[in-house]
Amino acid sequence: MSMEKKDSLFLLVKSLSKSEKRQFKLYAGRLGGNSEKNFMALFSLIDKMDDFDESLILSKTNIKKQQISNSKAHLYKQILVSLRLNPFHKNTKSQIREQLDFATILYNKGLHKQSLKILDKVKNIALQNEENSLAFEIVELEKTIESQYITRSMITRADDLIAQSSLLSSRNTMLSRLSNLSLQLYSLLLKKGYVRSDQDYQNIKEYFETNLPEYNISNLGVKEKLFLYKAYLWYNFITQDFVSCYKYSQKWVDLFYYNPYLKKTNPVFYLKGINYLLESLFLIQHRSKFRSTLNYLETEIEQHNFLLNENTESLAFLNLYLNKVNLFFLEGKFSMGVNFIPEVLDQLELYKRKIDEHHVMVFYYKIASMYFGNANYEKCIFYLEKIIKNKELKMREDLLCFSRILNLVAHYEAGLDQNLEALIRSTYKFLIKMNELHIVQRKIITFLRGLSNIYPHDLKNAFIKLHDELKTYENHPYEKRAFMFLDIISWLESNIENVSVESIIKRKALLMDR
């Protein structure tokens, strides 16, 4: 991994906008004499770097090697303090925390009534925005002040605070349990993927039902509902019930539709909700709804209908462009998709410091698949090898596995069969090691291995036989996931009919849209 990716200070400096850099210099200047300090020299030098270079810092500044760690830590802290003062980075949560800090300062100075006045005001803001954790913290400070000092602010003050504290505590407990379940299910999805057997299904079903708290949907707040829908979404992804994934991702997005203020306070959840809605629609092949939802997402981004910052900007790019690419697959428009690839690569380069390696590899798999659909097998292999040779990719074993399967098929189609046998053996070993050798993959590998023994005039019958065998698994509860990553059925049909994969998928799309 490059030093650029490892060094946190370098990434922070490079993330700053021009106005943020200007503000930091003004902030540092106000501290008095700091413009000549080591950390300012360090800031100016890193700002000009294309890649992090510690030796350049030592040669261009007065910082000694033993000082560099402390200088970097000090600069990092000062940049964060400067950013915290920037109005652009102030949101409802930070404003509530700021007022809570002010109230605490007044309390510590013995100005109890002034403190309670601020707390009462900011508590209402917290409750209105369903920031229940912060509201609970505020109530606890109110209880502390009321229990230590005779304020006589209200006759029933103690009862009111106790009731509020109990209600907020129960809601926070429910939120915690739902968010814990949601996170654990998401972790299981990333680590183990989809269920592979009846035993897997029973295990995850039992886990879900055991850990799902009892609830009355009408008593849940917006955030509790959000994590409830997320938990159901991950559960249904794991069990491959994609119709239910659509149902709960739509409920997720609807929360933001009926509570538009959430778009500003929770923009990441909003964008992710739309993305999972699109992913669900893609998996159930609902083209018309996919198109309208994708248009909706693009409009939301263009009109800045949610809080836009560096984080949401990169997330919006990911969601928009991945799903634009997916639309080409849904419609079988690989020729148009290939023409779109340069724009995707340009945007990837633009956001490269803000996108994790996993998502870059997902783009590469989509690009490789696009070139495969366009019959450009050399380009397909080029991008697949970027995934196969990536040693940093720790998650999404399915991506690693299907990259190798598609690589085999692309080598066959490209006529690069001189090393096909060795490639088949290495792929077979990899799938066994990953515990990913399922019926569909086994049949594909066996078929490719036997191609060299099939006479040309028997080739079509071999494709028909494999097609008939695999077709029975297209809707299999545990084998159908193979067809999500690799449309092997359409590839076989293209060889049987001697037409392009693109024409096969276009024809299917037209039939389903009628």
- Does residue 176 carry a pLDDT above 70? yes
Radius of gyration of the chain (CA): 28
* Averaged pLDDT score across all residues of the chain: 85
Q: Cα–Cα distances in Å, from 371 out to 311, 376, 416?
A: 30, 5, 16
Are 9 and 75 in contact by the 8 Å Cβ rule? The answer is yes
More confident residue, 420 or 490: 490
More confident residue, 366 or 52: 366
pLDDT confidence bin for 35, thresholds 50/70/90 = very low
* Model pLDDT, residue 152: 56
- Does residue 170 carry a pLDDT above 50? yes
Report the alpha-carbon distance of residue 233 to residue 252 in Å, rounded: 9
Are 61 and 41 in contact by the 8 Å Cβ rule? The answer is yes
Report the alpha-carbon distance of residue 301 to residue 308 in Å, rounded: 9
User: Considering only 143-152, 197-206, 396-405, which range has the smallest mean pLDDT?
Assistant: 143-152
- Does residue 109 carry a pLDDT above 90? no
* Model pLDDT, residue 342: 96
Report the alpha-carbon distance of residue 481 to residue 499 in Å, rounded: 25
- Does residue 337 carry a pLDDT above 70? yes
Are 333 and 370 in contact by the 8 Å Cβ rule? The answer is no
pLDDT confidence bin for 3, thresholds 50/70/90 = very low
Q: Which residue has the tokens 């209880």?
A: 143
More confident residue, 119 or 14: 119
Report the alpha-carbon distance of residue 345 to residue 364 in Å, rounded: 9
* Model pLDDT, residue 24: 86
Report the alpha-carbon distance of residue 374 to residue 413 in Å, rounded: 12
Q: Token pair of 220, please?
A: 């849940």
- Does residue 2 carry a pLDDT above 70? no
Q: Cα–Cα distances in Å, from 116 out to 122, 144, 156, 483?
A: 10, 11, 15, 61
More confident residue, 453 or 213: 213
296 Cβ contact list (under 8 Å, min separation 6): 274
* Model pLDDT, residue 91: 76
- Does residue 384 carry a pLDDT above 80? yes
pLDDT confidence bin for 4, thresholds 50/70/90 = very low
Report the alpha-carbon distance of residue 130 to residue 120 in Å, rounded: 15
* Model pLDDT, residue 90: 65
- Does residue 282 carry a pLDDT above 90? yes
Are 220 and 174 in contact by the 8 Å Cβ rule? The answer is yes
- Cα 163 off chain centre by: 38
One DSSP character per residue, 171-188 reads HHHHHHHHHHHHHHHHHH
Report the alpha-carbon distance of residue 259 to residue 271 in Å, rounded: 14
* Model pLDDT, residue 85: 77
* Model pLDDT, residue 514: 56
Please tell me the total number of residues recorded for the chain in this structure.
514
Share of the chain above pLDDT 70, in %: 92
Single-letter code of the amino acid located at 139: V
Report the alpha-carbon distance of residue 11 to residue 157 in Å, rounded: 49
Report the alpha-carbon distance of residue 91 to residue 308 in Å, rounded: 12
Over the range 416-441, which residues count as b (16 or more CB within 10 Å of their CB) and which as e? eeeebeebbeebbebbeeeebbbebb
- Does residue 86 carry a pLDDT above 80? no
- Does residue 172 carry a pLDDT above 70? yes
pLDDT confidence bin for 280, thresholds 50/70/90 = very high
254 phi/psi in degrees, rounded to 5: -60, -30
What is the arithmetic mean of pLDDT over 76-98?
81
144-158 residue pLDDT tens: 888 776 555 555 777
User: Considering only 43-57, 245-259, 368-382, 391-405, which range has the smallest mean pLDDT?
Assistant: 391-405
DSSP 89: G
| Start-to-end C-alpha separation, the chain | 50
Report the alpha-carbon distance of residue 181 to residue 201 in Å, rounded: 17
Q: Does pTM surpass 0.95?
A: no
* Model pLDDT, residue 249: 97
